[in-house]
Amino acid sequence: MRKFLFVLLIPLVLFLSACTTTTPEKMNNTSSEQSTQAKQKQQTFKIGDKVKMGDLAIMLNSAELVKPDDLNQPQDANNQFLFIDATIENLSNQSVAISSLMMFKLVDKDGRSQNITIHTKQKGQLDGELGSGRKMTGQIVFEVPKSSKLSDFEFIFEPNLLGFGQAIFKLEK
């Protein structure tokens, strides 16, 4: 009986240890004397902040609202496009799979998710394998209401596909 409990306990402990939270922390070039409490209090970031989460670092380079044109029409006629340009860096010594559909989302001020779409003027993608020490820059395009402003949205990065930890960016200029 004892051996049976031991065999059940080992996988449970391994599973629980793998389910750790990845806490986002702002990276900057200033002195590293900032207190740990100050880092933990900051829950949202802004365009231009470089944020480290586990073995990945992300920086939002820009966010821009783009009106439909002859070639690019949203699914809903009352929508426009929101382009998010970001750079992801792999800080680990192993390759990492990046998925724009699984790791990124855009929510409005009410917490409603916005749909990812494809646009012909999109420059690069944030999808694929990212090698050790490498960077990837690309754009993710969302459909958002025409009446919205950038400040109505938050861009969320969740590097762990199981959903442990988020970096939340306010889209304000």
- Per-residue pLDDT of 82-107, as tens digits, reads 999 999 999 999 999 999 999 999 99
Residue 137 contacts by C-beta under 8 Å, 6 or more apart in sequence?
61, 85, 86, 87, 88, 124
| Residue 92 confidence (pLDDT) | 95
| Rounded-to-integer distance, Cα 148 and Cα 82, Å | 10
Q: Which residues of the chain have pLDDT under 50?
A: 1-18, 31, 35-40, 42
| Residue 172 confidence (pLDDT) | 81
DSSP state of 75: S
| Residue 20 confidence (pLDDT) | 52
| Residue 21 confidence (pLDDT) | 59
| Residue 28 confidence (pLDDT) | 75
For 57-72, b/e burial (b = at least 16 CB within 10 A) is bbbbeebeeeeeeeeb
| Residue 160 confidence (pLDDT) | 83
Q: How far is CA 90 from CA 27, 39, 80, 149, in A?
A: 14, 21, 32, 32
